[in-house]
Amino acid sequence: DMYQADFRELEPLLDDLLDKKNDNLEDAERAVAAKGMATAANLLSQKFTLVITNVPYLGIRSQSNTLRSFCEKFYNQSKHDLATAFQDRFGASEKCATIACVSPKPWLFLSSYQDFRKSLLKNSQWNILSLLGTGAFSSISGAVVNICLNIHTFDNPRANHFFAGID
C-alpha cells in the first residue's frame, strides 16, 4: 500500500516507472507526481535542526476535505492556513531546531491563531520577525500576498532573550 509504505520501499518502484519508455503521457506525469509526493513525504517525516522555507499558502476554505481533516486533527492551533500548519510541523521537528519561514502574516494578529501564537511564545525563542508586506515578491503584483519572515528556535525561551523586529 503506497500510503503505508516507507519511502525506501517505494523509491525503486517509482524509479522503474520513470525509467521505462512510456508513450502514455498521462502515466508518465502520474509517475513523476508520485515520485515528487513520495520524496516530499520522506523529507517531512524526518527531524531537522534548521529549516528555511517559503511554505505553501492555502487557506482552510480552499483545502480539500482530506487535507482540512488532517490539519484539524494534527495541527488544530494552526489549521487555518497550510502555511501555519507547516510552521507548526517543522517546529515539532527537534528540540533546539530553528525555522526560518516566509508565511502569510494573519497568524500574527487574527484571533483564530491565538493559541498558535501562545504556543510559539511559550515553546520557542523568537529570533527575528520581519513584516515584508505585499510587495515582497516581484512576481506577484498588487496586495495579493501580505507576508512576514519569522525565525524561531524551538527551545525554552530565556527571560533575557531579545529578538529583532523589522518592518
Q: In what order do the strands lie in the sheet with 98-104?
A: 50-54, 98-104, 147-153, 125-133, 164-166
CA 37, 43, 46, 49: dihedral to nearest 10 degrees? -150
Residue whose grid cell is 512576481: 139
pLDDT digits (tens, 9 = 90+) for 147-161: 889 998 888 888 898
Cβ atoms of 51 and 90 within 8 Å: the answer is yes
- Per DSSP bridges, beta strands 125-133 and 147-153 are antiparallel
Residue type, 149: L
* Tens of pLDDT, residue by residue, the chain (167 residues): 444 555 566 666 666 666 665 567 777 777 777 777 777 767 766 666 777 877 888 889 998 999 999 999 999 999 999 999 988 887 665 667 888 888 888 899 999 999 999 988 888 899 999 998 777 766 665 566 788 899 988 888 888 988 899 88
Q: What pTM does this model have?
A: 0.66
3-state helix, strand, coil in the chain (%, to 5): 45, 20, 35
Cβ atoms of 148 and 132 within 8 Å: the answer is yes
